[in-house]
Amino acid sequence: MNLDQIFNAAQEAFLFYKNLPGKEKGEFLEGLAEILEENRAEIVPLAVEESNLPDGRINGELGRTIGQVRLFANLIKEGSWVEATIDPALPNRTPLPRADIRRFLTPLGPVVVFGASNFPLAFSTAGGDTISALAAGCPVIYKAHPAHPKTSHKVADCIHQAILKAGLPSALFTHVEGGISEGQALVKHPLAKALAFTGSHTGGKALFDLANQREEPIPVYAEMGSVNPIFCFPEKLKKENDALAKAFVGSLTLGVGQFCTNPGLIFVPKAQAAAFEKAISDEFNDIASAPMLHPGIAEAYYNSLQLLQSREELRWVKVADPQHLINGSTALAEIKASDWLNDHIFQKEVFGAFAMMVVYQNEEELQEIAKHLHGQLTITVWAEHEELQNQLYFINLLEEKCGRLLFKGVPTGVEVGNAMQHGGPYPSTTDARSTSVGAYAIKRFARPIAFQDMPDELLPDALRNDNPLGIWRMVDGEWKK
Amino acid sequence: MNLDQIFNAAQEAFLFYKNLPGKEKGEFLEGLAEILEENRAEIVPLAVEESNLPDGRINGELGRTIGQVRLFANLIKEGSWVEATIDPALPNRTPLPRADIRRFLTPLGPVVVFGASNFPLAFSTAGGDTISALAAGCPVIYKAHPAHPKTSHKVADCIHQAILKAGLPSALFTHVEGGISEGQALVKHPLAKALAFTGSHTGGKALFDLANQREEPIPVYAEMGSVNPIFCFPEKLKKENDALAKAFVGSLTLGVGQFCTNPGLIFVPKAQAAAFEKAISDEFNDIASAPMLHPGIAEAYYNSLQLLQSREELRWVKVADPQHLINGSTALAEIKASDWLNDHIFQKEVFGAFAMMVVYQNEEELQEIAKHLHGQLTITVWAEHEELQNQLYFINLLEEKCGRLLFKGVPTGVEVGNAMQHGGPYPSTTDARSTSVGAYAIKRFARPIAFQDMPDELLPDALRNDNPLGIWRMVDGEWKK
């Protein structure tokens, strides 16, 4: 099929699929969840082979992927996500009567999804972007990531089995392989109505620009990662130096540092810097170097580090050791906050298990740092309870720079739930108003439409007088079920 | 003040204002509503003088403006708009415990608002964009429309009185005058976090491109108008020919045709075309030509018509009469659907009281038209109840092309309420996911943030355990108050 055929078929599938009851769409997704589970024994070895990630991680990732499918299935079977809002007619209002106006969310149309290399399952073929788009009512044209073609193909087969089982049009999901130019052609097609991407800043920004240059610009949800700073306060570090070093190194090196929420930047008070650095170094000794996703990623990691090694502001606590080029060895550099503040290059993401430890002098410097910081997916604050009492302004500043603010634990390990926000101010994403993980991700692929004086029997079920779906709706300003 | 001073002050005001309780922000807006009402006798004559719109219309528009201020005041005093969502910690969950995650909407930061010439009050200085941004918690830097400087200045004074009365920082609202380059400089400033605009396609698209070319791209809510097609079905026209002609001409010529929702395109079945055209012509006789907003708008109107007059596909039922260049005289041209489908120029907006009557032959042609149509703010369907029963596919197609779909009445007269959607697919707006009228307009200026394991006393009131605001929240998947 050529591109026009693909998109025309997707558009016709869309016009049929979007009006199906949420219950039917949800059953289709439940069927997919089952099929993915049934194919676990085939999917896992392929993903392990193509990602160099260990069996345990990939098994867990498949579980997470299936959990996501079920989350969205439940969400659309319940149905309240459409924000049904009804202002009934007021025929006797003066000076003018009010018409009957009813609003809800309707799906955007065919969505182009780009898979991520670092999550061959959870952010790829049947990952969060694909599933939330399908849940919203949008067909997906999926551009497979070239790093894991066999895995992608296998999962695409599962999706087509689920489509067949549900009796839906096969054009609901199209698996497209190819390189950059194939991806660009998808984004340029007039029938594409939105675009989701997880990957590098360079890739995401290029797609964002392309989408905005279309005759009809379309929404772009590009999650481009960040350095996910951790701020350590003195008392906390004094009390828990070793435990925090362990937690930090665990998060930094998880999956060979190849997570969007990998903490690549840690701010440490001067008096505690030496002890903390020592504890980190000790932890590093326990970390075996492991292969990265593919040689290109390892090469980019070592190139980025090499560039930083020419900077005299940095003191290297541990230099990465590129003995096996595919392996991602840990690295840590230390810098004074005053130097760090002088150049934006020090907060550029290095994809891998590298962190920069920034040593700060006082609270004024902390505020300067917060103001200087780029947009992040997450920011973590490690402080004793009492240390936070005078930090309201600092916390206020941090809120402006991230999508998720943590006060315990580490940024890696993104919970899939209703309250999750995975997305933050630019450059961490191209649309801070959205999340790519959790229930709210579905809203990315919908837009509001209002019906004025539409005959009741033509209205979507979500908006009919008798509320046949039994969903939460705002009627005349009040939430009702 | 130079631009840096303006934005730095706005940013500091933001960091203070965003954390105020909704109740206090709401009282500030209520104070503004009162002050606007108290200044009615001064505001109305200025706006009449600067817009050429009649006293009755301007008085009504001020009422609507004040009503909007009160709507948003009530919305934020109530407080549930922030979508508070709480997933409490599950410390005993296996294999991994769940952290406490709480999400709500937080304001974006300083917003740049551009006023509209056609609504010197309701879409200008204290119009829907300004008020919904202030309600969300964002300071506004307002670029006054050069067509009504005195009105704008007077209303800005009212806003500053309200700020003073509420004891808030004056940088919450800044009134900026100037031309295109001053407007562009505002959009380019790094501290600007969003942009709202109502006006022409050329203006809106230029600002959209500029905002996307920033180092940090920002959301652009540009409402650029549309031609708001009306589709007439045969039986309906047979029954109500004269009444519909009257309704159509009334909507077309309201405010000398200078509304975003002005119906500039009407589709009529061939058998009824002659009778309907006759009835429209009769109605035109009763319409006195009236001055447009300013000479530039009248000139653009006549230039657009002149361009169309060279097209031989058009048969002119009534040619506009530019005898007094400032006056907007009505005009009507007829075209066959097959010709209309051949050139996109026939659906370009002509701002003023001009309409194109497109004569269609059958239902297949109607579907072609629906597919060919550009994105619209509104589409209206005039049909007998029975005529709609077989039109589900056609209605389905229309839904893809608009933000509001009407089945009675006319598109002008946009209700300000909870269910209103004023915004549609491109090119009617640059962001179909948003509305610029009604309660949901506030969401344009907010983004989600999640707090993970934040100590209860540091959480925003909307997210604290005891729900001190008594708002609707989703707790562990259930809506609760």
Of the candidates B5, B2, B4, B7, which has an alpha carbon nearest to the alpha carbon of residue B140? Answer: B7
The tokens for B466 are: 């005891």
Confidence band (pLDDT; 50, 70, 90) for A321? confident
Strand partners, B107: B446
- Residue A480 parent element (H or E): strand A478-480
| B420 lies in some domain | no
**Residue B227 Cα to chain centre, angstroms:** 14
The tokens for B404 are: 């509001």
Contact residues, A window 273-312, toward B, CB-based 8 Å cutoff: none
Chains A and B form CB pairs within 8 A to the count of 199
Tokens 């959009």 -> residue: B187
Q: Are the C-beta atoms of residues B387 and A433 closer than 8 Å to each other?
A: no
The stretches in chain B having pLDDT less than 70 are 324
Confidence band (pLDDT; 50, 70, 90) for A173? very high
Of the candidates A49, A420, A98, which has an alpha carbon nearest to the alpha carbon of residue B409? Answer: A98
First to last CA, chain B: 46
Q: Are the C-beta atoms of residues A407 and B455 closer than 8 Å to each other?
A: yes
The tokens for A384 are: 């004793």
pLDDT at site A427: 98
| A425 lies in some domain | no
Cross-chain CB nearest to B449 (options A403, A427, A479): A403
The tokens for A179 are: 């390189």
Task: Give residue-wise pLDDT tens across range A148-160.
Answer: 999 999 999 999 9
Residue A288 pLDDT greater than 90, yes or no? no
A9 in contact with chain B, both atoms CB, cutoff 8 A: no
pLDDT at site A325: 74
Average per-residue pLDDT for chain A: 96
Instruction: Say how far apart CA B97 and CA B103 lie, in whole Å.
Output: 19
Interface test with A, best of B103, B224, B384, B405 (most A CBs within 10 A): B103
B447 in contact with chain A, both atoms CB, cutoff 8 A: yes
Residues A24 and A85 in one domain: yes
Helix (H, G, I), strand (E, B) or coil at B210: helix
Residues B127 and B197 in one domain: yes
Q: B216–A400: do the CB atoms touch at under 8 Å?
A: no
The tokens for B349 are: 């907006």
Q: Is the dihedral of CA A57, A63, A65, A67 positive or negative?
A: negative
DSSP string, A326-380: TEE--EEEEEEHHHHTT-GGGGS--SSSEEEEEEE-SHHHHHHHHHHPPPEEEEE
By the 10 Å C-beta count (0-12 exposed, 13-18 middle, 19+ buried), B345 is classed as: exposed
Residues B11 and B27 in one domain: yes
Instruction: Say how far apart CA B132 and CA B75 lie, in whole Å.
Output: 10
CATH number for the domain spanning A349: value is 3.40.309.10
Q: A418–B19: do the CB atoms touch at under 8 Å?
A: no
Strand order across the beta sheet in which B220-223 lies: B173-176, B140-143, B111-114, B194-198, B220-223
Q: Distances from the Cα of A249 to the Cαs of A172, A308, A355, A407, B256, in angstroms? A: 42, 20, 9, 17, 68
Instruction: Say how far apart CA B287 and CA B35 lie, in whole Å.
Output: 36
> What's B386's DSSP letter?
G
| B160 lies in some domain | yes
**CB within 8 A of B435, min separation 6: which ones?**
A448, B403, B420, B421, B422, B423, B441, B444
| A415 lies in some domain | no
Q: Residues of chain A with pLDDT > 70: what percent?
A: 100
Strand partners, B176: B143
Helix (H, G, I), strand (E, B) or coil at A406: strand
Tokens 């290109």 -> residue: A296
B397 in contact with chain A, both atoms CB, cutoff 8 A: yes
| A423 lies in some domain | no
| A130 lies in some domain | yes
| B365 lies in some domain | yes
Chain B positions touching A430 (Cβ under 8 A) are 217
A454 in contact with chain B, both atoms CB, cutoff 8 A: yes
> Within 10 Å of residue B134's Cβ, how many Cβ atoms?
32
A180 in contact with chain B, both atoms CB, cutoff 8 A: no
> For chain B, what is the radius of gyration of the CA atoms?
24
The tokens for A259 are: 């997570």
Residues B173 and B208 in one domain: yes
Query: Range of B62's domain?
Result: 3-224+431-480
User: Of B406, B440, B464, which one is at a domain's C-terminal end?
Assistant: B406
Contact residues, B window 408-437, toward A, CB-based 8 Å cutoff: 408-409, 413, 415, 417-421, 423, 425-427, 430-435
Please give the biggest Cα pair distance in chain B: 81
Residues A75 and A55 in one domain: yes
Q: B450–A404: do the CB atoms touch at under 8 Å?
A: yes
Contact residues, B window 336-365, toward A, CB-based 8 Å cutoff: none
Distance of residue A162 Cα from the nearest chain B Cα, in angstroms? 26
Residue of A nearest to B380 (CA): A452
Q: Distances from the Cα of A133 to the Cαs of A25, A123, A218, in angstroms? A: 11, 13, 15
Cross-chain CB nearest to A452 (options B85, B393, B407): B407
Task: Give residue-wise pLDDT tens across range B402-436.
Answer: 999 999 999 999 999 999 999 999 999 999 999 99
Residues B194 and B240 in one domain: no
Instruction: Say how far apart CA B143 and CA B140 lie, in whole Å.
Output: 9
Q: A451–B407: do the CB atoms touch at under 8 Å?
A: yes
Q: B393–A85: do the CB atoms touch at under 8 Å?
A: no
Residue A193 pLDDT greater than 90, yes or no? yes
Q: A101–B417: do the CB atoms touch at under 8 Å?
A: yes
Q: A216–B375: do the CB atoms touch at under 8 Å?
A: yes
Distance of residue A460 Cα from the nearest chain B Cα, in angstroms? 11
Residue A230 phi/psi, 5-degree rounding, is -115, 130
Tokens 């055209």 -> residue: B277
Q: CA torsion B370→B376→B377→B382, rounded to 10°? A: -30
CATH number for the domain spanning B454: value is 3.40.605.10
Distance of residue A401 Cα from the nearest chain B Cα, in angstroms? 10
Interface test with B, best of A85, A105, A461 (most B CBs within 10 A): A85
User: Of B406, B423, B446, which one is at a domain's C-terminal end?
Assistant: B406
Residue B167 phi/psi, 5-degree rounding, is 70, 30
Q: Are the C-beta atoms of residues B144 and B125 closer than 8 Å to each other?
A: yes
Residues B72 and B188 in one domain: yes
By the 10 Å C-beta count (0-12 exposed, 13-18 middle, 19+ buried), A194 is classed as: buried
> Within 10 Å of residue A190's Cβ, how many Cβ atoms?
12
Number of domains, chain A: 2
Chain A positions touching B376 (Cβ under 8 A) are none
Instruction: Say how far apart CA A280 and CA B385 lie, in whole Å.
Output: 74
Q: B450–A405: do the CB atoms touch at under 8 Å?
A: yes
Instruction: Say how far apart CA B1 and CA A301 lie, in whole Å.
Output: 46
Q: B212–A212: do the CB atoms touch at under 8 Å?
A: yes
Burial profile B366-390: b = 16 or more Cβ within 10 angstroms, e = fewer = bebbbeebbbbbbbbbbbeeeebee
Residues B332 and B361 in one domain: yes
Residues B436 and B390 in one domain: no
Residues A12 and A141 in one domain: yes
| B166 lies in some domain | yes
Instruction: Say how far apart CA B193 and CA B195 lie, in whole Å.
Output: 7
User: Of A391, A406, A421, which one is at a domain's C-terminal end?
Assistant: A406
Interface test with A, best of B100, B102, B399, B421 (most A CBs within 10 A): B421
Q: Which of A30, A50, A223, A349 is catalytic?
A: A223
Q: Are strands A230-232 and A376-382 parallel, antiparallel or unpaired?
A: parallel
Residues A273 and A342 in one domain: yes
Q: Which residues of B are catalytic?
A: 223, 260
Helices (H), A137-233: 149-166, 180-188, 201-213
Chain A positions touching B455 (Cβ under 8 A) are 385, 388, 407
Residues B357 and B463 in one domain: no
